[in-house]
Amino acid sequence: MKKKESKNLNRYEMKSKSKGFLFYRESNNLGDYIQSIAAKKLIDERAVPIDREALNSYNGPITKLIMNGWFMENSKNWPPTDNIKPLMISFHINPIAVKNMLKPIGVAFFKKHEPIGCRDLYTQNVLTQHGVESYFSGCLTLTLKNKNKNKTGEGILVLGAIDRIKPKINLKSFILDILKFPKKYKKYKTSRIRLNSFIKRLGDSKIIYSSQIVKSNAYSEQEKFSLAEKQLDLISKSRLVITSRIHTALPAISLGVKVIFLTDGLDHINQKSRLEGLSDYFYCCNTNDLKNIDINKIRPKKNHTTISLSLKEKVKKFFDSDK
């Protein structure tokens, strides 16, 4: 961490030693920060940022921490220390992390803090299979409020809509990637043509293209939180959002903005697991379906209002409690 940034975080910790939210030292995904922004808005400005990937070595003051979001890059760094008093809500276990996180010591931690609020049905099922009481909580980003709610949204925001299927060349798998490139590029080009045709048909003069992925080492933690706030502002001011990012789609729904979630390239278990249960709260389709869509008629399968209220109540109860 940069020296200036470390000082800022230390100053942050001096303000409060009782409430916490997560930060992500190495993350390049603004979706992580959007989830923490949602958590922080339900606490207060004095909350302490705590590193998701170092909870097992946390030795600061005893902190009541909202533990939400995707877990985790370094699954061997589990479970957290006793100085963390967690509210485990909107919690997702990365399939690759299951083996390490659900060793006996990890299961004991989950059972100690059950019931676990799961962001998706995949995580709920995994925990249930290990004897941990759990429930589907949905995601804290469904509690976000639109500061621009009295203004009519304008234009289309295309945010990471088909970036997952754009072929890449990785030095570690260079030869294999070269061999697969023509077929992958053809698939990407076809999806891009379908998407561009759909956008052209809508006739909006204002179209913004953006990404949720940034260069992690190019920004400080505070700067990445700021970029995430700006992205939320962009979403809130749009007429329509087109994305394949969960933490663009869910905030859009919560902020009252129509959204189309594209499923192209989301066939891997790591992607499908995150969508189970959540995809009911936004409209999903493949780029091949865009030619038949009337955006005035698209609706999610479920309304998010009830789940949003439940999340707020659980967070309030957690921080109001003396435990």
| In contact, 281 and 138? CB cutoff 8 Å | yes
Q: Supply 135's token pair.
A: 């429930």
d(C-alpha 213, C-alpha 274), whole Å: 17
- Region 289-306: what's the mean pLDDT? 94
Those residues with Cβ within 8 angstroms of residue 235's Cβ, 6 or more apart along the chain or in another chain: 157, 159, 241, 248, 251, 252, 255, 257
> Is residue 188 over pLDDT 70?
yes
Instruction: Return the pLDDT at 10.
Output: 47
User: What pLDDT does residue 89 have?
Assistant: 98
Check residues 5 and 132 and name the one with the higher pLDDT: 132
Q: Which residue has the higher pLDDT, 105 or 10?
A: 105
CB within 8 Å of 261: residues ≥ 6 apart: 243, 244, 246, 249, 279, 282, 283, 284, 285
pLDDT band with cut points at 50, 70 and 90 for residue 147: confident
pLDDT interval class at 175 (50, 70, 90): confident
Mean pLDDT over all residues of the chain? Answer: 92
pLDDT tens figures, 205-237: 999 999 999 999 999 999 999 999 999 999 999
The two three-digit tokens of residue 84, written as one number: 């963390």
The residue extents of the domains of the chain are 3-142+307-320, 156-304
pTM of the model: 0.91
Please tell me which residue, 149 or 305, carries the higher pLDDT value.
305
- Condensed to tens digits (0 to 9), the pLDDT of residues 109-129 reads 999 999 999 999 999 999 999
What are the tokens at 169? 């060349």
pLDDT value, residue 17 = 52
Q: Which band of pLDDT confidence, cut at 50, 70 and 90, is reported for residue 70?
A: very high
What is the C-alpha to C-alpha distance for residues 52 and 94, in angstroms, rounded to an integer?
Answer: 14
pLDDT digits (tens, 9 = 90+) for 2-61: 445 444 444 444 344 589 999 998 899 999 999 999 999 999 878 999 999 999 999 999
pLDDT band with cut points at 50, 70 and 90 for residue 278: very high
* Domain over 156-304 is classified CATH 3.40.50: yes
Which strands form 19-23's sheet, in the order they lie side by side? 48-51, 19-23, 63-71, 84-93, 116-118, 134-136
Task: Supply the pLDDT for residue 11.
Answer: 46
What percentage of the chain has pLDDT greater than the value 90? 84
Q: Assess contact for 143 and 42: CB atoms under 8 A.
A: yes
pLDDT score, position 12? 43
DSSP 13-57: HHH-SSEEEEE-TT--BHHHHHHHHHHHHTS-TTPEEEEGGGGGG
Paired tokens of 235: 């979403």
Q: Fill in the amino acid letter for 269.
A: I
Write down the H helix ranges in the chain. Answer: 3-15, 30-41, 98-101, 104-112, 121-129, 174-202, 221-236, 246-254, 269-275, 305-320
CA distance 12 to 308: 28
Picking from 97-101, 135-139, 152-156, which range would have the lowest pLDDT averaged per residue?
A: 152-156
